[in-house]
Chains A and B, each alone.
Chain A
Amino acid sequence: MNSGIDLQGTFIQSLSDFGISAELAKVFWMPFPMLLMIIGATVGVLVNVWLERKISAAAQQRIGPEYAGPLGVLQPVADGLKLVFKEDIQPAKSDPILFTMGPVLVVMPVFLSYLIVPFGQNLVITNINTGVFLWIALSSIVPIGLLMAGYSSNNKYSLLGGLRAAAQSISYEIPLALSVLAIVMMSNSLNTIDIVNQQADYGILSWNIWRQPVGFVIFWIAALAECERLPFDLPEAEEELVAGYQTEYSGMKFALFFVGSYVNLVLSALLVAILYLGGWSSPIPIDMLSNLLGVDPSTSWVQVVDASLGISMTLLKAYFLVFIAILTRWTVPRVRIDQLLNLGWKFLLPISLANLLITAALKLAFPTAFGG
């Protein structure tokens, strides 16, 4: 296993050569990944919105956005611009501070969670040892923001939507965390990079989805519920609740909710790709390929190919999952709130617990296959 490209190391090294101390060089380095993360996440949202509209249109035998740019790719940009220029309306009897805090609290943790998403051996913003745990902790801030938004709007639909969102997020966090725990147990680490490396040995055969099929399904269902995607979009069920907690929002604050939900979808897809589909590793290991072609895997151009392949693999897997999510949206009808809670507490929770126990048992029985 080679270490791959280390951009940070190279940057700090080259600045140190100019006589700048290593600490200062690190400070200079820090804005780059942050900016890259924000831009990457935003572009991801634009791509996601476009994909959603185009795929939805295709599934309904429509054409979808067509005139804004080639194939309508600029449509999400136009939508975003429209939202930026819209008037920011504050309902008369709402709580102004909470009303503004709500969307901010929803968006911030989602963007922060991108810190732990690795696109390659060193292509991660912060390589911390509690990566997945950080993501779970951050994602439980979101329902507070939703509840805030729903409560401060002073509107019965908003309040109902906020309560539903909170109930949904809290009940689906548990099966989500339990299925992540099974993965963590197999890879002996909460670090996302370790989790991916643990799946990298035999290409597609060593991906966690083969060892954790139940966990994969539970994680995906719970992730859809966390993102409030159909079939679990009842916090904003338009037929009954107008738009749920978003009812009173307009302009940029609404855009924050909108961006937040799509960033969350991309993030969930990325995490499924990392936890279950081998992250940046390609179906056939690149080391094996380069050995087959007789190239040394540590030569620089192989490293560049490796890095770009890693990024495209991660994105490819993530967007494949986004595609599945969109397809699910037009296939499955929305569940009722009681069905939702029944599914969460009576079905997913016991099964994820059993999955965790079985994983533990298998780990003791076959330590080589299940990460002893």
Chain B
Amino acid sequence: MLKFLKQVVDYGKETAQAAKYIGQGLAVTFDHMQRRPITVQYPYEKLIPSERFRGRIHFEFDKCISCEVCVRVCPINLPVVDYEYDKATKKKKLNSYSIDFGVCIFCGNCVEYCPTNCLSMTEEYELATFERHELNFDNVALGRLPTKVTDDPMVTALRTLAYLPKDVMEPHDLPAGSQRAKSN
């Protein structure tokens, strides 16, 4: 009889505890309702990519010496380097250069190893096209100056969390000239 009573009491305690935890959970959910939305209203607001962001690759035609290091370090030998040997100057002459961004994984090895720094990373990440072939950028497309979200008058550029001042959690309405928190 006592054992049964103890079971009943334990069951009651467990129930009360479960109810308590549900109450605590409800309090957490309720507390979230008064917090400011953390979402970025994408086409109108955009986050500024960090300085190490690996976006579309930029290519400078005149700097390239057609050494094909980018092809060798690429995991899938993606860059297409079309050159011919100029007997008169005894140098390779680059005809065209292309990278297919539909296949590229943006690992940045080509940029890392390029001996003349003719390859570089940009902040561009909006590469969507209507056709796959349009993603195959030739040297003209690769040489276009990259756009910046901070230059776009249609877009409110927002800083990401790491670039906000100390103890500031959200990027809207920052005072002008505010600096990012110093890392220790």
Chain B's closest residue to A64 (CB) is B37
Which residues of A142-159 are within 8 A (CB) of B? Answer: none
Bound together, the chains give a CA A331 to CA B31 distance in angstroms of 12
| B26 CB within 8 Å of chain A | yes
In-complex Cβ contact of A63 among B15, B22, B32, B37 (8 A): B37
In-complex Cβ contact of A58 among B15, B25, B28, B33 (8 A): B33
Bound together, the chains give a CA A220 to CA B80 distance in angstroms of 67
Bound together, the chains give a CA A249 to CA B39 distance in angstroms of 33
A59 engages B22 (CB within 8 Å): no
Chain A residues contacting B32 (CB-CB under 8 Å) are 58-61
Which residues of A50-99 are within 8 A (CB) of B? Answer: 55, 57-63
Chain B residues contacting A331 (CB-CB under 8 Å) are 22, 25-26, 28-29
| B41 CB within 8 Å of chain A | yes
Bound together, the chains give a CA A63 to CA B25 distance in angstroms of 21
Mark interface residues in B90-113 (1 if CB within 8 Å of A CB, else 0). 000000000000000000000000
Scoring B15, B26, B33, B38 by chain A CB atoms within 10 A of each residue's CB, the highest score goes to: B33
Interface size on A, residues (CB 8 A): 14
B29 engages A61 (CB within 8 Å): no
A332 engages B22 (CB within 8 Å): yes
Chain B, interface size category, equals 10 to 19
Chain A's closest residue to B34 (CB) is A58
A-B pairs under 8 A by CB, number: 35
Bound together, the chains give a CA A206 to CA B28 distance in angstroms of 31
| B144 CB within 8 Å of chain A | no
Chain B's closest residue to A347 (CB) is B15
| B35 CB within 8 Å of chain A | yes
Mark interface residues in A308-352 (1 if CB within 8 Å of B CB, else 0). 000000000000000000011011100000000000000100000
| B3 CB within 8 Å of chain A | no
A61 engages B36 (CB within 8 Å): yes
Bound together, the chains give a CA A60 to CA B29 distance in angstroms of 8
Distance between A328 CB and nearest chain B CB, rounded to angstroms: 7
A61 engages B39 (CB within 8 Å): yes
Distance between B117 CB and nearest chain A CB, rounded to angstroms: 42
Bound together, the chains give a CA A272 to CA B36 distance in angstroms of 32
| B125 CB within 8 Å of chain A | no
Given known A332-B22, A332-B25, contact A327–B39 (CB-CB < 8 A):
no
Bound together, the chains give a CA A331 to CA B24 distance in angstroms of 9
In-complex Cβ contact of B35 among A61, A328, A330, A332 (8 A): A61
Mark interface residues in B34-57 (1 if CB within 8 Å of A CB, else 0). 011111010000000000000000
Distance between A293 CB and nearest chain B CB, rounded to angstroms: 36
Q: Rank and list the top 3 A-B pairs by shortest CB-CB distance, nearest first.
A: A331-B25, A58-B33, A331-B29
A–B pairs, 9, beta carbons within 8 Å: A59-B30, A60-B32, A61-B32, A61-B35, A61-B37, A61-B39, A62-B37, A331-B26, A332-B25
Contact residues of A with B, CB < 8 Å? Answer: 55, 57-63, 327-328, 330-332, 347
